[in-house]
Structure 1
Amino acid sequence: MMKPVKSSVLTCALIASLLGTAASMAGDATTTTTTITPAEPESKWAGTLNLDLNSHFVSYGLDVWGDGNDLEGGTFNPSLEFTWSLPANFSFILGTWWDMNDKVPSSIGGSLQEVDIWAGLGYKIGDLSITGLYQNWMYASGNEQIVDIKFAYACFLNPSLTFHNRVDPGASGGSNGTVIVAGISHSVEAGPVTFSFPLNVAYFVDDDFHPGSIDSGLGYGSLGVNATYALDFLGEDYG
């Protein structure tokens, strides 16, 4: 699983249309009808909940638990992200991601091995979205800190470009540096479920980003299949 790295100004307009014409014939009254139609309210915020069970925990090309070809004893990775609409096409983003398993004794407690939190801003202009996030990954009694900048364009293949910048290695065992990830993803709707097929290729700008003396250059590629089901129980006003 890859680490997680999701509006518009609220508007309310009144549309008035003038119906009818003034008749010029004597004895005919002029009839004017005005119809006022309020615009539909937009969502103030949206939330995304993921409950993922993964065979491997892969973070930017690194097999974190070193499971290799072993498909037993996977990890449970829930995540939750909220997005609030702000003026001028901006949005505020807040989220968290957890890694839960019993592979090693936890420094946090129970089966909880890692807690990530992130906050940032998004901006949208037409089909182009720009997102900036600060992330704090807490694990093994350390705090790895990340600054991500992502550009995404909404079209058939939904291309994206992410600059993943580690500014504090924490307990990662690697060095500060940058990974550039280029991706595309095509989605297909099948009733209430949306399937997407993401393809990503990463380039390591700096040496030793991960432990083990990894050189800069082409880092990894990934191809996946995701299924998404929208929960509308909160109603339209709340995403």
Structure 2
Amino acid sequence: MKSLINKWNNKLVKTSCVLAAAALLSPAAFAGTMTSKTVEPVAPVEEDPFVTGTLSFIADTHFISYGFDVWGGGNDFDDVLFHPSLELVFNLGGGLSAIIGTWWDVNDKAESSIGSNVQEIDVWAGLSYATGPVTFTLLYQEWIYAGDAERIVDFKVAFDHFLAPSILVHGRVDNGLGLDNGVVGVLGIAPSIEAGPVTISFPITAAAATEDFHGGDAGFAYASAGVAASIPLVEHVNLSLGVTGYYTNDSVIPTNPDDAFITGFAGIVVTF
């Protein structure tokens, strides 16, 4: 019996020693001297939205189409033209995007073949591919006016640089309006600066056209320089306004009433 009691006593002593050692080695026993590692929460990766868009409601003093003063405003313009537009961009992944859009010319300059005061409706669709600092965009367009359509293919290369340089090849490939097919090439830059919440840009372009594209000779067609501002009003809504000066070559664009003139615009741009 004594042997059995001694075994139980020895077992209790060992158990007490183990519990005491565990208590001494627990984190609480080293309070103030031992720090524990905490796992930082991993922020979720924000994915680019599948669809983004731009909706614009712009009032213009002129309608200028690659240097051509469509409504002949020149320096004696006395009317305001309304030009709403909508463009949607679909993110297809891997730098590839699909684009669709429309632009309208609304005014009372002439009797409309479309209806009301809608003089022209342009629609387009195409693809854009971004790789590194370069973005390539290819668009097919239908410019619907005067009871028929002008068909356009545009190819643009834009560079992510502080000067925002770009090269655009604008080709008229088919039409039922008696216009000659041809090409206009446009070189442009559009550097910008931030002034608080306001973005100010300085677009500059120079262009050349093939023979009879605007009813004249081939060669230098026009140059333009302007200043534009984008002013945030509320989230995703900006006030956009600016002025642009044009110089056009009357041997290439013979129908403009003035070779040099100034245009202006103002309106609301909604991004989503």
How would you bin the TM-score normalised by the shorter chain? 0.7 to 0.9
Measured after TM superposition, the shift of residue 57 of structure 1 is 0.9
Residue 66 (structure 1) shift: 1.6
Aligned to 1:207: 211
Displacement of 1:152 after TM fit?
A: 0.4
Q: Which structure has greater helix proportion? A: 2
Determine which structure has greater relative contact order: mean sequence separation of CA pairs < 8 Å that are 6+ residues apart, divided by chain length: 2
User: For residue 257 of structure 2, what is the aligned residue in structure 1?
Assistant: none
Q: Does 1:180 align with 2:185?
A: yes
- Residue 217 in structure 1 maps to residue 219 in structure 2: yes
Over the residues paired in the alignment, what is the CA RMSD in angstroms?
2.2
Match of 1:108 in 2: 114
- The whole-number CA distance in structure 1 between the counterparts of 2:53 and 2:235 is 11
Aligned to 2:235: 232
The residue identity in structure 1 corresponding to 2:214 is H
Query: Paired residue for 2:156?
Result: 150
1:34-45 equivalences under 5 Å are 34-35=39-40, 36-45=42-51
Deviates more, 1:82-91 or 1:222-231: 222-231
Tell me by how many angstroms 1:227 deviates. Answer: 2.4
Cα pair distance change 1:88/1:41, threshold 3 Å: closer
1:10 equivalent in structure 2: none
- Residue 193 in 1 paired to residue 195 in 2? no
Name the SS of the counterpart of 1:207 in structure 2: coil
Matches within 5 A, 1:84-163: 84-163=90-169
The corresponding residue for 1:18 is none
Q: CA deviation at 1:40?
A: 2.3
Deviation of 1:67 after TM superposition, in Å, equals 2.1
CA distance in 2, matches of 1:45, 1:228: 22
Task: Give the deviation of 1:49 after TM superposition.
Answer: 1.9
1:74, CA displacement in angstroms? 2.6
Deviates most, 217-226 or 127-136:
217-226
User: Matches of 1:94 and 1:228 in 2, distance apart?
Assistant: 23
Partner SS for 2:220? strand
1:71 Cα deviation (Å)?
2.0
Say which of 76, 87, 99 aligns to 1:81: 87
Instruction: Count the aligned residue pairs.
Output: 207
How far 1:189 sits from its partner (Å)? 2.1
Task: Note the alpha carbon deviations across 1:117-173, whole angstroms, 9 max, x for none.
Answer: 0111100011111100000000000110000000000111000000001111332x4
Q: Equivalent residue of 1:201, what SS?
A: strand
Unaligned runs of 5+ in 1: 1-25
User: Aligned equivalents of 2:200 and 2:56: distance in 1?
Assistant: 14
Q: Which region of structure 1 is more displaced relative to structure 2, 148-157 or 38-47?
A: 38-47
Counterpart-to-counterpart distance in 2, 1:67 and 1:157: 31
